Structure 1
Amino acid sequence: MFLQRSAVAVVRRAARAPAIRRSLTTTVARRDASETTPATKYKAFHEIKTVDDLRGPGAAPSTVPTDLEQSTGLERLEILGKMEGVDIFDMRPLDASRLGTVEDPILVRSAGDEQYAGCTGFPADSHNVIWLGMSRERPVERCPECGSVYKMDYVGAADDHHDHGHGHDHHGYEEPKTFADFVKPQYR
């Protein structure tokens, strides 16, 4: 009974309210043939040589840009690479078909100074993910759960002008000591 009364009240209010409370306006974008610019030729992945080559041309006036037209930097490099079938970030999973050993570790490619790898054990998914941190100063890391050994393979620029090998970065920050600092190097 209560629902019937409230439904009737809603219908009465709706009948009194105007159907359209505000006027509808439209805008028409007129484009002259002389205003349109031809599509700018972009550089292909194999033509990229400098950072300046990683700027998109932008969209033509009064059009919505595509990802290819508006992307810049690493995003543009990734899109151009995918268009030519190159996966520049190497998003393949790590080799989980074997247990990494000190003599034959599982290689983790990195273009940066440090890299994290998630170990799920051997055989795969035998334990929860344990994140292991590797750096250029400490490229080898062992999983505490399954014992698999991972090694960071630095593939970045050789002349990155960083002060590596002195146990601290270019800001004078020294990495805190861990238990691994007291392990013999041959066991890392």
Structure 2
Amino acid sequence: MFLSRPALAAARRAAASPIIKRSFTSSFVRPAPTPASGSNDGKIKKFEEIKSESDLVGPGAAVGAVPTDLEQATGLERLEILGKMQGIDIFDMKPLDASRKGTLDNPIVVKSFGDEQYAGCTGYPADSHNTIWLTMSRDRPIERCPECGNVLKMEYVGPAEDPHAHDHGHDAHGHGDGVHNYEGEPKTFADFVRPEYR
């Protein structure tokens, strides 16, 4: 049952090249471009022209192109980029004043647009201890670093009307009553001692 060489060669050729040859073709249909939501007609608005949240949606890239950060950024990221293009630092990323140690009479001021702000203290002089994160709020604007005693104070610079309508004990301008002793809190370490041990 051995095949002869010519029959074996013919079988190999038949397997390698079938009788019906198929041609390879490909085609694709490019969809019609659809406008991006909030595209603003491809116009990039300037920082001063931003009036609502819908203005913070980028136009997107042209069909087949890779979008730049400016074309695809939305929301706060877009607001930050538009501000930086005109030299405005939206989020005030400058480091806090480290040339002095904050005191209760003259604290280091931390500005905040929100109800709560975190600040890292590295000590005085700067970098004299590991970073300790302090939390300040509209209800409790002053914090003292437990390591070095540096005093920080949050200054609320956000909208005058709080959209959440919480009562923070502030007047219409966001200023507190100026009293720094919070009700029920110890004022010194002696306040931690139980009355029967005094």
> TM-score scaled to structure 1, two decimals?
0.68
Structure 2 CA distance, aligned partners of 1:74 and 1:93? Answer: 21
Displacement, 1:27? 9.0
Structure 2 CA distance, aligned partners of 1:27 and 1:109? Answer: 59
Q: What secondary structure sits across from 2:54 in the alignment?
A: helix
Displacement, 1:94? 0.4
Q: Is 1:121–1:145's contact at 8 Å kept on the other side of the alignment?
A: yes
> What pairs with 1:88-107 in structure 2 (closer than 5 Å)?
88-107=90-109
Tell me, which stretches of 5 or more residues in structure 1 are unaligned? 1-25, 167-179
Could you say which residue in structure 1 is the equivalent of 2:174? none
2:127 paired residue among 125, 132, 142: 125
1:134 paired residue among 133, 136, 139: 136
1:40 paired residue among 32, 38, 42: 42
Q: Is 1:137–1:164's contact at 8 Å kept on the other side of the alignment?
A: no
1:59-99 CA deviation, whole Å, 9 max, x = no partner?
A: 12222111111111000001101111111011110000001
Matching residue's letter, 1:181: E
Could you say which residue in structure 1 is the equivalent of 2:167? 164
1:77 pairs with 2:68: no
Question: Where do 4+ consecutive residues of structure 1 move more than 3 Å?
Answer: 26-30
Displacement, 1:165? 2.4
Q: Which has the higher contact order (CA 8 A, sep 6+)?
A: 1
Q: What secondary structure sits across from 1:115 in the alignment?
A: strand
Q: Is 1:136–1:164's contact at 8 Å kept on the other side of the alignment?
A: no
Q: What secondary structure sits across from 1:127 in the alignment?
A: coil
Displacement, 1:130? 0.9
Could you say which residue in structure 2 is the equivalent of 1:170? none
Q: Percent identity?
A: 64
Could you say which residue in structure 2 is the equivalent of 1:52? 54
Q: What secondary structure sits across from 1:53 in the alignment?
A: helix
Equivalenced residues, count:
146
> TM-score scaled to structure 2, two decimals?
0.65
Matching residue's letter, 1:147: G
Q: What secondary structure sits across from 2:161 in the alignment?
A: coil
2:148 paired residue among 146, 149, 156: 146
Q: Which has the larger radius of gyration?
A: 2
RMSD: 3.1
1:33-82 CA deviation, whole Å, 9 max, x = no partner?
A: xx8x9x82211011112111111111122221111111110000011011
1:183 pairs with 2:187: yes
